[in-house]
Each structure stands twice: as C-alpha cells, then as structure tokens.
Amino acid sequence: MSETSADRDQYSSLALLKRLVREHGRQHVRSYLLAALLMSIGAGATALSAWMLKPVLNHMVDGEGFKTLQFLAGGVTVLFFVRGLATWGYQVVLARTGNRIVAGVQRRLYEHLLQQDMRFFHSRHSTELMTHLGGAASGVRDALQVVITGAGRDVLTLVGLIIVMIVQDPVMALIALSIMPVGGYALNRLIRRVRQSARRSFAGSAVILETIQETVQGIRIVKSFNLENTMRRRMNDAVREVERSVNRMAMGQAISSPISDAVAGIAIGAVIFYGSWRVSIAGADPGSFFSFVGALLMAYEPGKKLARLHLDIQNGLTGARMIYEVLDTPAQEVPQEGLPELRVSAGRIAFENVRFSYREGESVLDGINLVAEPNATTALVGPSGGGKSTIIALIQRFFRPEDGRVTIDGQNMMDVDLASLRDKIAFVSQDIFLFRGTIRDNIAMGKVGASDEEIINAARMANAHDFIIGFATGYDTNVGEQGAQLSGGQRQRIAIARAFLKNAPIILLDEPTAALDSESEREVQKALDSLRHGRTTIVVAHRLQTIVNSDRICVIENGRAVENGTHEELIAAKGTYHTFFATQFGESATPVKFGAATRSH
Ligand SMILES: Nc1ncnc2c1ncn2[C@@H]1O[C@H](COP(=O)(O)OP(=O)(O)OP(=O)(O)O)[C@@H](O)[C@H]1O
Ligand SMILES: [Mg+2]
C-alpha cells in the first residue's frame, strides 16, 4: 500500500515537472534563455504600448500635442513590429527545442526497451509501447512548453502590465488584482477531471492500435471465424471511450473560459465604476484611466492563460508520467562492463540442476540435468508444455535460472558477456519471424554487412535459393508483414538461411509443429542437416525424421530430462520414449535414417 502512495508522490504533477526541468530543461537552458529573452522583449513592448495610451489620450484632449501624437503613433507601430518579431523568434526557438526533446525521449525510450528482458515484453502489448513513443513523448515536450511559455511570456507580460497599472493608479490596481485568486481557485478544481480523462484517452488509443494490429496480422482468422462483429465491437468500444474522454477533457478545458470571463467581467466592471468616478467627479486625468483600462484589458489574455496553466499541462504530464513509468522499470539487460567474452572451443552445453519458473510457485524446469555434446545433434522431445522451448530460451539467457547453472565449455553463461554469448548462437524459432523488407534484407539480418555472395550462399545451403529465384523479383521480393506473402516452408527456409549466414558454433532449433507437406518438409530437413554439420545443435524435435536423425535424444517431461540416449537405446528400454514414440508416430513407425522419410500415423 505504501508503495502506491510513494508512486503517487513520485509521479505527482510537481515531482514530474521538477524532473522534466532537471532532465530536459537544463540541457537546453541556452535555448530557453534565448526564448525567455525574446519573450521579455515582447512583454516589454506590450506593456509599453499600454503605457503609451496615457500620453496619447492626454495630448488628444489638450489639442496641442499633434506633433507628439504623430511621434507616438509611429512608436506604437514600431512596438507592434518588435513584438511580432520577438514572438516569431521565441516560437521558432521553442518549437525546435521541443522537437529535439521529443526525439531525445524517443531514442531514450527505445534504448531502454532494447535493454529489457523477455518478462518485460511478455507482460505488455506492443501497441502500449507505440502510444508511448508517439503521443506520450510529445507530452514531455508539451508539458515543458506550456510551463515555459506560461512562466516566460505570460508571467512577464502580466508583470509588465501590472506595473503599468500600479503606476497609473495603485488603488484601482488593487481592486482589479484582488479578484484574480478567486478565478485561479475555481479553475484548479477542474484539474482532477482533466487528468483522469487524459489517461483514459491514452489507454483507449492503445486499444485502438491493438485492434487494428490484430486485425491486420490475424486477418485470416478474423475472416475464417467470422470475427468481424467481435472486432468491430472491440473497436467501437475503444473509439467510444477515447471520444468520451477527449470530450470530457475538452469540456473541462472549455469551462475555464466562462469562469475567467465572469471573473474578468467583475474586475473590469469595478474598475470602470471606480475609474469614471475618479475622472468625472474627483477630477483625475483621463489618460491614466485609459492607460489603466488598456493595460487591464491586455492583461486579461495572459492572466487567463496563466490561470489555466495547471489545467493545460495535465495532458502533457499524463504522457510524461507514462514515459517515466517505463523508464523507471529497471533495465535487466544493461551491458555489463568487465565480463569476459564467451569462448567456444568445443561447444559443450550443460544444464546442471537448473530450476526455473515464469510465475512464482509454478515450476517449469525442476532441477534439470542435460548435456549437449559438441559436433552432435541433441533432440529434445516430449509432451507439449514440458519445457523444451524454455530450455532453448535459457541457453540464450532470455531468462535467468533461479537455481543451478548452464555452462558452455565450462563457462557459466551468467558470467560471460551477453552479446558474446548470443554471437555464438544461431537460433531458428518455433514461430518464424520475418522483418519488414525483402528476402535479401531478412537473410542479411544474420550477419552485419554480409555480401550478396554470402547471402546467396546461405540461401543455397538452406535450400531456399531455387524458390527465391523463382520469384520475378528474386531476392528483392517483399516478404510482407511478418512474411505474410510467403508459404510456411519458405519462411522457415529463409530463417534457416539467416542462421546459416550467422555461422555460429551453436545451433538452436525450435522445430515448428505445423506439419509441412512432405515435399517442403524434405527441403527444410535437408537444409537443417547441412546446417547442423560440425556444430553443437540442440533441436526441439516434433518430426519423426528430425528425431531419428539426431545423435542423442533427451525426453523432457514436467521440467525434467527423464530419459537420455540414442533412438535405438531408448526404444529398447521400453520406457517413456517408447510410449511417446508409439503414440506420436504409431507402433509400426520405421524410421529411415537420412532417407526419404515417410511419416506413418
Ligand atoms: N512467457 C511465459 N509466461 C508464463 N508461462 C510460460 C511462458 N512461456 C511458457 N510458459 C509455460 O511454461 C511451460 C513450458 O513451456 P515451453 O514453451 O517450454 O513448452 P514446450 O515444451 O516448448 O511445449 P511445445 O512442445 O508445445 O512447444 C508451459 O506450461 C507454458 O505454459
Ligand atoms: Mg515449444
């Protein structure tokens, strides 16, 4: 409980503002000073033009000062030019600085994301992070901008005009100013409402993006299961929520106008009443009075803006709050200095009493012991959910073991440089992932700066070259979002070519369960056989052919390695593997080593 109140303090408006100023304001202090200077020039020009109303009026009344009036008319024109130029200048400076801040926040946020571990990504939807990068990052800029224009332009202008008012008539100034706090108080009451709505509108926008993304990526399922209505409902709900909260925000912000107008009306009315009494009855000079009223009217706009400063800032602060919530999640994969590089000589991978769970109390690996010998293929087989993919993930240090250790050639992989570890591993995942771009781009991801020749070579070895050049645009064929324009087997072979190009001593394959037709299965199989050559390979095997072609088979069940040996040994032992094999492939399955496998059911 105390944590939530601490959270509230940490992300309160004031704390956030201080942090924004500390982290971004200081860095751009020169630009902001320049903007402030320009703003004060503008504010000075405004105050001066109000002050000039006095000589203008007084000279008009006495009818003799036409020369002075000509001079004053010219002066006012110049003042307005100066004010225009100063406004242009500070707006340009502020916009550029603001955009630099947004860019900086986006870079920083992305950098922070890259340093997060799997758990972070598994607990969030991608669109949530997209709204952070987009809308919320601009929130940081907007919040700062509102404060700076508020503090700079509006406060300065107001101060200048108030000085003019005090100089012209101190009593009237007191009357006019005493009413200001009333307006400020009324406006502040609106803030909570606006803040809540801002957060809801961000959340709603994330759901809108999420629905669009799922519709595009899952369009086959959406159409095939007639999910249009379900998706439409989800979209409508989100759109309605956003519309409602944006409306509520607009309403909160709009209601500030009638409040300010009412307050200002009272102040101006009182001033006119008192002022005309002073001029007509008590014989004060009309110039001072008009100059005062001029200053008061000019002060209305900046005063109103200042009064709703707190309100206007809420939207930006909501964005800033969301950004900081992500930035404050400790980065789990920060590059650590001083760790030795992983050196792979033979490539022997060993799990020693490794325990691991994704959620507390739900053990997934339960003290597992396992060895993958160099220059050999170790197949992991076993029932779904047994922990095979988890083993593959732990070798790549996607998660850290809770107990026990994973070693590669005797080096505990928690104690070596993370990048050097992942450099030595080529991974083909259970669900193939392709990046945006062409086939060439996707294979090239395997090695920075790979030449065309290397890419084609890798594709040849992955048995992908022939189908690739079969396309009219060859290697430049677009793969579509997540490879949507390719067949399942083609996607797999591109992923294998990518792994080939990486030329790593350790190969991890998580075999897709989706049955390929026997022709493409053979193609993929041939590709895999050549990939495994001369390396340490661990393959999560679902296909008969992969299993029997492995050097060792390891049966994973309930987070333990329950059996270990060659296919023949394990069949002869008539244990778990024998049962597993019989139920998977039938009693009569006769595996053919390195031949055309025929799958029996
Ligand atoms: N990110 C995750 N968060 C929570 N639990 C998870 C996560 N990933 C996997 N699990 C759970 O861990 C267990 C082991 O999963 P794992 O993916 O290792 O199984 P598997 O042996 O590869 O299964 P399959 O043959 O179906 O691919 C399962 O019970 C699964 O529900
Ligand atoms: Mg799996």
How many Å lie between the centroid of ligand 2 and the Cα of residue 125?
21
- The residues, any chain, with a CB within 8 Å of residue 486's CB and separated by 6 or more, are 434, 479, 480, 494
Angstrom distance (rounded) from CA 188 to CA 365: 55
Whether the per-residue pLDDT at 60 is higher than 80: the answer is no
Name the 3-class secondary structure at 119: helix
Q: Whose CA is nearest to atom 31 of ligand 1?
A: 385
Highest mean pLDDT among 126-140, 416-430, 572-586: 416-430
Ligand 1 neighbourhood includes 390 CB (under 6 angstroms): yes
Q: What percent of the chain has pLDDT over 70?
A: 94
pLDDT band, residue 312 (cuts 50/70/90): confident
Q: What is the mean pLDDT of residues 82-94?
A: 93
Query: Is the CB of 385 inside a 6 Å radius of any atom of ligand 1?
Result: yes
Contacts of 520 (CB under 8 A, 6+ apart): 487, 488, 489, 490
Kindly report the protein residue whose alpha carbon is nearest to atom 30 of ligand 1.
385
Using CA atoms, how far apart are residues 539 and 510, in angstroms rounded to an integer? 6
Find where tokens 């006769």 sit: 590
Interatomic CA distance for residues 301 and 306, integer angstroms: 9
Residue of 122, 358, 380 to test ligand 1 pocket, by largest number of atoms within 8 Å of CB: 358
Confidence of residue 459 (pLDDT cuts 50, 70, 90): very high
Please classify residue 108 by burial: count the beta carbons closer than 10 Å to its beta carbon, then call 0-12 exposed, 13-18 middle and 19+ buried. middle
Average pLDDT over residues 547-565: 91
Q: Decide: 367 and 560 in contact? Cβ < 8 Å.
A: yes
Q: What is the mean pLDDT of residues 248-256?
A: 82
Spell out the residues 6+ positions from residue 271 whose beta carbon is closer than 8 angstroms to its own. 172, 175, 176, 292, 293, 296
Residues 573-597, mean pLDDT to the nearest whole number: 69
CB 369 within 8 A of CB 528: no
Pocket test for ligand 1, best of 123, 363, 390, 542 (most atoms within 8 A of CB): 390
pLDDT at 1: 36
C-alpha 539 – ligand 1 centre gap (Å):
16
Which ligand 1 atom minimizes the distance to the CA of 122? 1
> Phi/psi of residue 401, each to 5°?
-60, 145
* Closest approach atom of ligand 1 to CA 118: 1
Q: By alpha-carbon position, which residue is closest to atom 19 of ligand 1?
A: 385
- As a CATH number, domain 433-503 is 3.40.50.300
> How many whole angstroms separate alpha carbon 263 and alpha carbon 254?
15
User: What is the per-residue DSSP string for 281-330?
Assistant: IS---HHHHHHHHHHHHHHHHHHHHHHTHHHHHHHHHHHHHHHHHHHTSP
Q: How confident is the model at residue 588 (pLDDT cuts 50, 70, 90)?
A: low
Task: Say yes or no: CB of residue 303 within 6 Å of ligand 1.
Answer: no
Q: Would you say the CATH fold of 433-503 matches that of 7-190+255-327?
A: no
Smallest-distance ligand from the CA of 394: 1
Structure confidence at residue 490 (pLDDT) = 87
In this prediction, residues 178-203 reach a mean pLDDT of 77
Neighbours of 540 (CB within 10 A): 23
Determine whether the shortest distance from the Cβ of 357 to ligand 1 is under 6 A: no
Taking the centre of ligand 2 as the mean of its atom positions, its distance from the CA of residue 324, in whole angstroms, is: 35
Pocket of ligand 1 contains residue 121 by CB under 6 Å: no
In the sheet with 349-357, reading across from the earlier edge strand, the strands are 363-372, 349-357, 403-408, 411-412
State residue 197's pLDDT score. 85
Q: Which residues contact 172 (CB under 8 A, 6 or more apart)?
A: 165, 271, 274, 275, 278, 292
Does the structure show a pLDDT above 60 at 276? yes
Query: Cα of 205 to ligand 1 centre, how many Å?
Result: 31
So what's the pLDDT on residue 214? 87
Residue (of 50, 13, 322, 327) closest to 146 by Cα position? 13
Which pLDDT does position 543 carry in this prediction?
A: 80
Cα–ligand 1 centroid distance for 390 (angstroms): 6
How much is the pTM? 0.78
* Residue 485 Cα to ligand 1 middle (Å): 28
Answer yes or no: is pLDDT of 596 > 50. Answer: no
Please choose from 364, 392, 546 the residue to mutate so as to test ligand 1's pocket, defined by most ligand atoms within 8 A of CB.
Answer: 364
What is the arithmetic mean of pLDDT over 419-430? Answer: 91
Task: Answer yes or no: is the C-beta of 437 below 6 A from any ligand 1 atom.
Answer: no
Asked whether 564 lines ligand 1 (CB < 6 A), one says: no
Question: For residue 591, what pLDDT is reported?
Answer: 56
| Segment of 33-42, 137-146, 528-537 carrying the highest mean pLDDT | 33-42
Q: Name the β-bridge partners of 509.
A: 428, 539
Residue 304 near residue 264, CB atoms below 8 Å: yes
Would you say residue 234 has pLDDT above 60? yes
Question: Largest Cα–Cα distance in the chain?
Answer: 123
The domain defined by 7-190+255-327 folds into ABC transporter transmembrane region fold (1.20.1560)
Contact 188, 243 (CB under 8 A): no
Of 235 and 180, the one with more pLDDT: 235
Q: How far apart are CA 204 and CA 208, in angstroms?
A: 6
Helix (H) or strand (E) holding 545: helix 544-548
The CATH class given to the 344-424+504-514+531-601 domain equals alpha beta
In the predicted structure, residue 450 carries a pLDDT above the cut 60: yes
Phi, psi of 543, deg, nearest 5 = -95, 140
Element (H, E) at 501: helix 488-502
213 pocket-lining for ligand 1 (C-beta < 6 Å): no
Q: Does the Cβ of 542 fall within 6 Å of ligand 1? A: no
> Above 70 in pLDDT, residue 492?
yes
Q: Check pocket membership of 386 for ligand 1, CB cut-off 6 A.
A: yes
- Please tell me the distance between residue 386's alpha carbon and the centre of ligand 2 in angstroms: 8
**What number does the ligand 1 atom closest to the CA of 387 have?**
18
From CA 18, how far away is CA 25, in angstroms rounded?
9
588 neighbors 600 (Cβ within 8 angstroms): yes
Is residue 144 within 8 A of residue 20, CB to CB? The reply is: yes
Mean local confidence (pLDDT), 589-593: 56
pLDDT tier, 513 (very low <50, low <70, confident <90, very high otherwise): low
pLDDT of the residue at 148: 83
**pLDDT of res. 366:** 92
Residue ID of nearest Cα to ligand 1 atom 25: 384
Strand partners, 350: 371, 407
Nearest protein Cα to ligand 1, atom 29: 385
| Vertex 122: Cα angle to 120 and 124 (nearest 5) | 75
pLDDT band for position 520 (cuts 50, 70, 90):
low
pLDDT at position 599: 37
- Ligand 1 and 388: CB distance under 6 A: yes
Instruction: For ligand 1, atom 7, name the residue with the nearest CA.
Output: 358
How do residues 410-423 score in pLDDT, each as one tens digit?
Answer: 999 999 999 999 99
pLDDT exceeds cutoff 70 at 181: yes
- Per-residue pLDDT at 217 exceeds 50: yes
Domains in the chain: boundaries: 7-190+255-327, 344-424+504-514+531-601, 433-503
Atom of ligand 1 nearest to the CA of 390: 18
**Weakest mean pLDDT among 64-73, 400-409, 512-521:** 512-521
Distance CA 434, CA 436 (A): 7
The answer to whether residues 40 and 156 touch, using CB atoms and an 8 Å cutoff, is yes
Mean pLDDT of the chain: 85
Ranking 195-199, 207-211, 476-480 by mean pLDDT, the lowest is 195-199
The distance from CA 330 to its chain's CA centroid, rounded to whole angstroms, is 15
Rounded Cα gap, residues 495 and 500, in angstroms: 9
Alpha helices in 308-387 (DSSP H): 309-327
Pocket perturbation via mutation, ligand 1, pick of 389, 429, 539, 556 by most ligand atoms within 8 A of CB: 389
Residue 517 pLDDT grade (very low, low, confident, very high; cuts 50, 70, 90) = low
pLDDT (0 to 100) of residue 398: 92
Element (H, E) at 379: strand 377-381
Could you give the CA distance from residue 391 to residue 333 in angstroms, rounded to a whole number? 19
Q: Look at residue 521 and tell me whether its pLDDT is greater than 80.
A: no
